[in-house]
Structure formats: C-alpha cells, structure tokens
Chain A
Amino acid sequence: MTAGTRMSDVSATMDFRRRDARDKLMGRTRYTIDRYLPGMLHAAVLRASVPAGRIVRLDTAKAARMPGVRAIVTAADAPGTIGIGIADHPLFARDLIRYNGEPLAAVAADTLIQAHAALAAIEVEIEPLSPVLTMAEAIAPDARLVHPDWHDYEILLAGGAREGNVAWEASVVRGDVDAAFARPDVVIVDSNFRVGRQNHVAFEPRAVVASYEDGRFHIETSTQVPWTIRNATARLLGIPASQVRVTVPPVGGGFGLKFDIAIEPFAALLARASGRPVRLVNSREEEMLTCLFRENAEIRIRSAVTQAGEIVGREAVVLMDCGAYGGEQIFLTTMTAHTLGGNYRLGSVRLVSRAIYTNTAPNGAFRACNGVYNTFALERHTDEIAARIGMDPLAFRSRNVLGDGALGATGQRFDGDVLGPMLDRMNTMRPATATSRERNDGRLYGRATTVGTWFVFVGPSAATVNMNADGTATLVTSGVEIGSGSMMQALPQIVAATLGIAPDNVIVRTADTDAAGYDVGVGGGRTTVSLGAASLQAAQEVRKKLLKVASEMLEAAPEDLVMQNGRIEIAGAPGSGRSVAEVASHAQAKEGPVSATGAFTGRGVPAMPGCVAGHFIDAIDIPVFAVHDCEVAVDRDTGHVEVLSYKVVQDVGRALNPRAIRGQIQGGVVQGLGYALHEEVTIGADGSVRQAGFETYRVPLALDVVPVEISLYEGAPSMGPLGTKGAGEVPILNVGATIACAVANATGKRVQELPLTPPRVLELILGRKPALAFPHIADAWADNLVRPHGQP
C-alpha cells in the first residue's frame, strides 16, 4: 500500500480491557431492570392458560376499578401485526389463542402487587380448541390449522412456499440428485435426527421502561435490536416509526433471545394510556415459558457416497418448529442451505427446510441458530458415512471439506483453503493431551473431531465519529453491549488505531435510535464486522480531514504524516508535529468540528441461478469455519457423560482482541455443553413448557466445565474490516455435534438425539432405544414440498 492510501499507522490488535468491567464488578451498572423512574407505574401481562382456544369474552371493567390501577390495554389498542417474511403475529391474541402463555391484556398500576390483583380480576371466557402440539401432528393431512387465515396474511418477502401449518418453506436444488442416487457405484446412507429446544437463560430478563412525552414514545429496553423495537412497535401500534425512540442500557445477556421485539409494546401502550412511565419486567417463570427458544427440529439426511469417499449426492428434509408464530424461524429456513449444506463438497444436493406452526410458545434466535442442530445432524451423518464405507472419519473429512473454489450448496464459490488447514492444526493439538483410553475405571471412552460452517450476518450498519477538540473521539452507533465486549473492545480499537489515539480515548455512545442511523442489531456475529466496517469508514474519513488540516499546520504533505500516540507527525521525525487535540481544535476553530459518518452493508455474494427458493440470503458473504475436538467418558451404569477435554480451532479472520475472543469461545462452548448434555425442554399436554425455572432447567455449573484449549486461525479471506470475522457467535456451533460423535464413538451406538441426558444415554447403552423414525417425512424428497422447487 502506498503512503497516500495508508489508513492506519498503528495496529488495532491488542488485549484491550473492557471499560464496563469495573462498574459491573462493583454492582454499579444500571441495567434496564435497575432503572426506577419517579412516578413510575408497574405493569403485568395477563397470559392465556390454554394452548388453543377461542376468546368468547374478555372484560376488563372490573379490573379497571381495582385499587391503584392506572391503565389496561388489550388487542383493541394494538391493531397491527408483525413478522419476518409474513405478518402473522399480533401483540395480543385477538379471537384465537395460539399458545399457552399468549398475552391477552396488560395492566399498569401503582405497585406490582396491585397490577397482579387487577390481572386476576379480568374476566375471560375461552372456548378451548384441540391443540396441535407437535410438528408431526401439524403436518398431518387433517391437522387443525394454527392460523386458519394464513392465506390472507400480508407477505413481507415474496418467494417462500406456504400452506396451512407450513409457515414457510425454503428449498435448494443443485445438480441432478436423482441421477447421483441411482449411480451403481454408490452406497446410500440415510440418517434421522431430532433435537429439543434450548432456553437462553439470559440473566437479565426481558425488561422495559417506557414513557410517552411530546407525542413520542421513549422505550428504554434490554434488547439486541433497537431498530427492530422501534419499527415493530410502530407497526403493532399503527403509528409512524418516527414516533418511537429506543435507547438501550447495558444488556444483561442476550444470546439471541433479545434479537426480536418482546414486551416493549405493552409498556409503550400503558405509558401512553396512563401518561406515566411504565416499568415491565418478565418474571423468571415468564422468561422460561415464553422464551424465544432455539427451536426443536427433526432432520432426515441421505447421501450417496462412493467407496472412495466422494459425496456425489445429498438430500435432506429439515422440520423446524416455529411455535405459534413464524418469527425468526421463517428466516432460519434459509440457513439450512449454509449449515446442513455446508462443510463438504457435494456433487449434487437438494434440501428443504420447513418452519411449522404448532400451538406452542414461539421460538426465536439463539446463538448460531439453526447451525447448532444441523451441524449435529451433518457431523453424526458424516461419521455414519465413514463407518459405512470403512474410512477413518478424519480422513473422510479431510478429503471432503470445502476448499478453495469449492461450490457451496447454493452454488456459491468459496475462496481459500480454510477448513483443511484448520483440521491439520487440530491434528497437531490433539496429541498434547494423552488419550484417555488406557484409563481402566470401567467407563466407556470416546473422542471425536467435527467441522462446522457458519457465517457472519452482514447487513446495514451506520456509524458516526465525532472528533472532539480535546483529542478524544465519540463513536455514535446503534450497537448494544450485550456482554460480548464488541462494543467495548473491538469498535473503539478500530477507531483508535485509525486515528492513532488510545482506545480509552474513544467514547462509545450507547444505542439511541434518535442519535445513530439504522442498524440490523447485535447478533449473528455481525457487530465487529458490520458496525466495525461503518466505524472504520467514519474514522478513516475523520483521519483524512485531520491529516489535511495537519498538513497545512505542519507544511508537509498528508501522505508524509503519521497518526500515532495521540499525535500527528512527519514520518520518521518524532516530536515534529502536533497532538491530535491541537489539530482537532485548530480544525474546529477554522472550519468547524471534524466528524464523519460511515455506512456498511453486505455485498451479496451470488448463488447459482435457480438453486434457491424462499431464501432470505442466497449465499453467505463471510463464511466462518470451526473445528472442534473432544474426549468423553461415559458411565455404563448411570449414562452420565463426562467431558474430559475440549479443543477448538476457530476461523476468526483476524483477531483484534485475542483474549476477548478466547473468552467468547470458552463461554460459547460451555453453553453448547449444556445443549449437548442436559438442557432439556419438554412440552406438557397443556402445551406449556414444563421447565419453569432453574430447578428443572439445568444449565452448566462451575463443576461441570473444562478449560477449552483454543487456537485462533487467522488469515482466511474476509470482507470484514481489517480482515475480521465475527467470533462470538460461532463457538457454540459444533459442540452438540462433537459431544454426540464422541458419545457414539465411546458407546458404539447410533446417537440420533440431543440432549444426551443420562436416561437417554443409558437407553442407548442398554439397546432400549428404538431407531428414530419420522413417518411424517415422506420417503421421496419432492413429496415433502408444498410447492415444487422453482415454481412460483
């Protein structure tokens, strides 16, 4: 790069500490749940206690006269509907109740106790309907429709096939799969898999404080997506989006739970009705029962493979339970192409991914959504293939992983050899811990190595950098700090390196939709990439402006100047120049304050024409790869699985803050261990989630975990700023897969389900677990589609 285009003189890489740690450690940080405003009312939501029914009568008159009650709102107050792809979701149940826990009314009162007393006084008469609780029931030919009016819903994105309880269907076809399966030289491997739901258990529940002033709503909320809250609230209330301002205090954990609108509109409506600020905080029970879970899913995958190990054809059907409303699962049908269709070179492929309505709580986004279970299915299937053709599973993977020029499922062309070298690196890490096979305690020992493909959810982001006359810079974005540290570390590091100032001197403005431009939200590994790219562009513009002013002050060409250590100097002549503060204040006085904005969105890598139908993303702009390895010991008598070691090689593009990334990997892997081993959600006959709290939903504890051995793989191609990729989302991606493959390896049994709770493992060991069958998934792939692929 020539001096004239140089955009930084110092490295952005460092283990920069996070500025929010001190207050968090001293208990001073004020999350949304810690905000109490003068005159504030307390709100509560009346929820249905049946999974399906018709509302015959809902009378709030008596409740409105209860002591302390200031406002009650119902479906009449929220005319709009929201959704992804299709607008199927009202704020309150209108005529039909579609899940146990669905909101019916909301009350604001002087105290929370008064609000709850008023809820109890609301008179509700419901005619129960027979619920559709499983996907098998939902797609049966005579199933009752969860949305009888599905055909009339407003379509927000054209192209998805829909019918009855199939909320959305996305398909991929590349090449002649029938011909591949008919080849005489292939073996056909057919596998079924099933996974349950996973609850995020974000420690801060969804919480909001709303007020209504000067004809506008101000919503302070615990969210990952301030702009979604703004726009979706407006849609539901039937008001212009410009009437909603969203600000976000520090968020006490998200993991995708807060990637969608939640309880904000209730508080907004109550604030407008009462004229007072309104606080609404989900109880832990509400969090558990109405969590936008990682969805339960059923996967059938078949492959045609030659004895030499070439995958000539692959087909799959993936059923994803979206619950009562489409929500995130509509979008996530897209991801099957890139996760289940990822990892390996395929001669031909066809996949269909269907989001299915049931009378259960709506599901949502959860860290590496869709990828976690599809990677489990794909990697277990891969081991079954390797066993079937008698090839070492590692050798099979090395032979087939995506490499430079390889075609993805949708026909996109991948750049660079990444997974192969990552597998090689894992091979060098593996002998570092002794194998546990020689242990002689009667347990069954196993190990596995898996690969995974994920992506960065790029999309629009905006940033403004204001250069202050004191030499600091203020970064204004709609980014939210949810705990991952991206807003506290990566972003100020990027701006600071560009401007040659200390990252502590970059002030990070908290999210405010009135102050910063549009942003998709914090999730999908996109913060450092998308907000980072917008921030980098803004900072580079500020840098150019400052260098121009400095060049006049110093009588030197801008390309001869460097910005470092808070100074702008002539290259090679330390002490020759001025401080950034001097230049910035000079500029401010002569030309006005220096600032600039940056904007970013995905590039839109092309897929092969005709390959995809019903997809939101045809190809992935920034793939992210992971290789995981673990050793387990399985107790034959109890079915308990102990994880003995865990190793990760993760493709990070470029690690701006290696220590922070390692922290994300340890945390993500442990969350994945919970999913793999003991976090279990079941639905009762009344359609409600049975795990209502921490006693019944078992998350990993300090004694359950192992230190993860981590190697950051740098240098893979990325369009992210400074070569970065998202690093916080992907660590959970192949944990379920790796544990499942290791348990299968230890027990010699076919692992088809997660989580591997002791009873489930014991059934496997004792041979009491019948093979998983899906009578509701048709044998012929095409019979699973409501509309043939490619037909409008």
Chain B
Amino acid sequence: MAVSLIVNGERMASSADPMTPLVDVLREDFHLTGAKPVCREGFCGACMVLLDGAPALSCLMPLALAEHCEIRTVEGLSSGGTLTPIQTALEAHDAVQCGMCFPGMVVSLTHVLATTPSPTRDDIRMALTGNICRCTGYERIVEAALSAVAK
C-alpha cells in the first residue's frame, strides 16, 4: 500500500514500510539527499524539513505519519538555482564550511524568518538550538541571519 505525500509541490508515493523514517524515503526513494541523517535521534537537526510549514525532524517521522502532508525539503526552498534571501546571506558571509548541517540550518532559519516579525540575535540563537554545527562555531550563521532580516 503506497503512501502518498506532497514533496516540494509534487505529489509522490512511496511503497516503503510505513514505519520507515521519512528521511530515508526522501533520500532513497525520491533521491532528495539534501536532508542528512546525521544522528537519527532528533538531536542534530540536519534532517530538518518543513512539514505543513513547520520544521520537523524527518529522522523521527515515520513515513505513515507524513501521509498527505506537504513536505518541503531544502531542495524545494530555492527555485531554478536562485538562492533565497537566507541562502544568499549565508553564502555572502562565508558561513559554510563542511556544509552537512546547512540543509537543516537553512530550513530552520527559513521558518524563523518567515514567522518572527523582527527576530533579534537571541531569537535566532534560540531558533538554532536544535541545529548543531560542528565546524563554524555558529557566529557567522547568526550574523548572516541578522543581515537577511535587515534586508
């Protein structure tokens, strides 16, 4: 019995076991490898996607629970190779290092910028506590987000 879901605006179906973590369905069935299964325990945030508009950890979400949901992965945030404002800011601030956490970072920041009217530095740091980065020491990510707010 295939599970149907909407991924980046397209209706898609997966015949994977209903308990399969959504992150594996996205990556292996739909070839959307942006979301990274780093900890598989919900701590690191690298697999974050927007589920009906809210950030969700796709490693902890069984496929069946995502049925008919609208899922947006990092690949679906930008269109035609044009970066979104937060992606532009992160690139301009030379914030990226190894890059593994950035799919989740971008999803989290996209959400906070869309839902918080004028986020402060602390709002952004708070919003990032569910996204771990091992390379950058966070500062540039925060700075980039603040500059995206200012624009």
Q: Which residues of A contact B (CB under 8 A)?
A: 15, 17-18, 20-22, 24-31, 33-34, 36, 200-205, 250-255, 283-284, 482-485, 659-660, 663, 666-671, 693-695, 699-703, 705, 707-708
| Shortest Cβ distance from residue A209 to the other chain B in the assembled complex, whole angstroms | 13
Contact: B94 with A703, CB < 8 Å? no
Complex Cα spacing A184 to B132, Å: 55
Complex Cα spacing A284 to B41, Å: 9
Number of B positions contacting A (CB below 8 A): 53
| Shortest Cβ distance from residue A679 to the other chain B in the assembled complex, whole angstroms | 11
| Shortest Cβ distance from residue B117 to the other chain A in the assembled complex, whole angstroms | 21
Contact: A26 with B87, CB < 8 Å? yes
- Ordered by A's residue number, 23 sampled pairs between the chains whose C-beta atoms are within 8 Å are A21-B91, A22-B83, A25-B87, A25-B106, A26-B74, A27-B32, A27-B73, A27-B102, A28-B34, A203-B44, A250-B98, A250-B99, A253-B98, A284-B40, A483-B135, A485-B97, A660-B94, A663-B136, A666-B136, A666-B139, A668-B137, A693-B43, A694-B39
Contact: A26 with B99, CB < 8 Å? no
Pick out which of these stretches binds chain A: B50-58, B62-70, B122-130: B122-130
Complex Cα spacing A204 to B103, Å: 13
Complex Cα spacing A24 to B142, Å: 17
A-B pairs, 8 with minimum CB distance: A27-B34, A483-B98, A24-B99, A670-B137, A203-B100, A27-B74, A694-B43, A252-B100
Residues of A within 8 A of B151 (CB): none
Instruction: Return the chain B residue nearest A283 by Cβ.
Output: B40
| Residue in contact with A667 in the complex, picked from B75, B81, B135, CB distance below 8 Å | B135
| Residue in contact with B100 in the complex, picked from A22, A253, A663, A708, CB distance below 8 Å | A253
Instruction: Return the chain A residue nearest B75 by Cβ.
Output: A27
Interface centre among B75, B92, B139 (most CB of A within 10 A): B139
Instruction: Return the chain B residue nearest A694 by Cβ.
Output: B43
Residues of B within 8 A of A251 (CB): 98
Residues of A within 8 A of B132 (CB): 694, 699, 701
Residues of A within 8 A of B38 (CB): 203-205, 284
| Shortest Cβ distance from residue A316 to the other chain B in the assembled complex, whole angstroms | 31
Residues of B within 8 A of A484 (CB): 97
| Shortest Cβ distance from residue B124 to the other chain A in the assembled complex, whole angstroms | 8
Q: Is the interface of B mostly helix, strand, loop or mixed?
A: loop
| Shortest Cβ distance from residue A742 to the other chain B in the assembled complex, whole angstroms | 18
Residues of B within 8 A of A20 (CB): 96, 99
Residues of A within 8 A of B90 (CB): 21, 25
Complex Cα spacing A689 to B98, Å: 26
Instruction: Return the chain B residue nearest A30 by Cβ.
Output: B33
Residues of A within 8 A of B141 (CB): 702
Residues of B within 8 A of A201 (CB): 134
CB contact under 8 A between A18 and B94, given known A26-B34, A699-B132:
yes
Contact: B125 with A702, CB < 8 Å? yes
CB contact under 8 A between A21 and B96, given known A26-B78, A27-B75, A705-B139:
yes
Contact: A693 with B102, CB < 8 Å? no
Instruction: Return the chain A residue nearest B74 by Cβ.
Output: A27
Residues of A within 8 A of B46 (CB): 203
B111 interface hit (Cβ, 8 Å):
no
Sample of 7 further A-B pairs with CB below 8 A, known A33-B33, A708-B139: A21-B96, A29-B99, A660-B94, A699-B132, A700-B137, A702-B129, A708-B137
| Shortest Cβ distance from residue A575 to the other chain B in the assembled complex, whole angstroms | 33
Contact: B41 with A17, CB < 8 Å? no
CB contact under 8 A between A670 and B138, given known A26-B34, A483-B99:
yes
Complex Cα spacing A33 to B28, Å: 11
B27 interface hit (Cβ, 8 Å):
yes
Residues of B within 8 A of A485 (CB): 94, 97
| Shortest Cβ distance from residue A130 to the other chain B in the assembled complex, whole angstroms | 34
Complex Cα spacing A251 to B100, Å: 9
Contact: A253 with B74, CB < 8 Å? no
CB contact under 8 A between A702 and B131, given known A25-B83, A27-B35, A250-B99:
yes
Residues of B within 8 A of A250 (CB): 98-99
Complex Cα spacing A55 to B52, Å: 53
Complex Cα spacing A250 to B98, Å: 8
Contact: A693 with B100, CB < 8 Å? no
B25 interface hit (Cβ, 8 Å):
no
| Shortest Cβ distance from residue A49 to the other chain B in the assembled complex, whole angstroms | 21
Instruction: Return the chain B residue nearest A25 by Cβ.
Output: B87
Instruction: Return the chain A residue nearest B128 by Cβ.
Output: A702
Residues of A within 8 A of B100 (CB): 31, 203-204, 252-253
Complex Cα spacing A34 to B46, Å: 14
| Residue in contact with A203 in the complex, picked from B74, B87, B94, B98, CB distance below 8 Å | B98
Residues of B within 8 A of A15 (CB): 94
Instruction: Return the chain A residue nearest B122 by Cβ.
Output: A703
Contact: A693 with B39, CB < 8 Å? yes
Interface centre among A30, A284, A663, A707 (most CB of B within 10 A): A663
B101 interface hit (Cβ, 8 Å):
yes
Contact: B94 with A666, CB < 8 Å? no
Residues of B within 8 A of A202 (CB): 98, 134
| Residue in contact with A284 in the complex, picked from B31, B39, B103, B139, CB distance below 8 Å | B39
Complex Cα spacing A283 to B90, Å: 29
Contact: B137 with A26, CB < 8 Å? no
Complex Cα spacing A659 to B95, Å: 10
Contact: B39 with A703, CB < 8 Å? no
| Residue in contact with B125 in the complex, picked from A22, A663, A703, CB distance below 8 Å | A703
| Shortest Cβ distance from residue A767 to the other chain B in the assembled complex, whole angstroms | 34
| Shortest Cβ distance from residue A340 to the other chain B in the assembled complex, whole angstroms | 27
Complex Cα spacing A669 to B73, Å: 31
| Residue in contact with B140 in the complex, picked from A25, A27, A34, A663, CB distance below 8 Å | A663
Contact: B135 with A17, CB < 8 Å? no
Complex Cα spacing A30 to B103, Å: 12
Instruction: Return the chain B residue nearest A660 by Cβ.
Output: B94
Residues of A within 8 A of B83 (CB): 22, 25-26
Complex Cα spacing A252 to B35, Å: 13
Complex Cα spacing A234 to B122, Å: 52
Instruction: Return the chain B residue nearest A673 by Cβ.
Output: B137
Residues of A within 8 A of B33 (CB): 27, 30, 33-34
Contact: A705 with B138, CB < 8 Å? yes
Residues of B within 8 A of A30 (CB): 33
Residues of A within 8 A of B128 (CB): 701-702
Residues of B within 8 A of A22 (CB): 83, 87, 91
Contact: A483 with B97, CB < 8 Å? yes
| Shortest Cβ distance from residue A43 to the other chain B in the assembled complex, whole angstroms | 16
Contact: A252 with B137, CB < 8 Å? no
CB contact under 8 A between A666 and B137, given known A22-B83, A27-B33, A203-B101:
yes
| Shortest Cβ distance from residue B29 to the other chain A in the assembled complex, whole angstroms | 11
Residues of B within 8 A of A483 (CB): 97-99, 135
Interface centre among A27, A36, A659 (most CB of B within 10 A): A27
Residues of B within 8 A of A702 (CB): 125-126, 128-129, 131, 133, 138, 141-142
Complex Cα spacing A284 to B38, Å: 7
Residues of B within 8 A of A205 (CB): 38
Contact: A707 with B125, CB < 8 Å? no
Residues of B within 8 A of A701 (CB): 128-129, 132
Residues of A within 8 A of B97 (CB): 253, 483-485, 663, 667
Complex Cα spacing A284 to B77, Å: 28
Complex Cα spacing A506 to B73, Å: 32
| Residue in contact with A663 in the complex, picked from B39, B92, B94, CB distance below 8 Å | B94
CB contact under 8 A between A667 and B137, given known A17-B91, A27-B73, A36-B28:
yes
| Shortest Cβ distance from residue A199 to the other chain B in the assembled complex, whole angstroms | 10
Instruction: Return the chain A residue nearest B39 by Cβ.
Output: A694
Complex Cα spacing A133 to B97, Å: 37
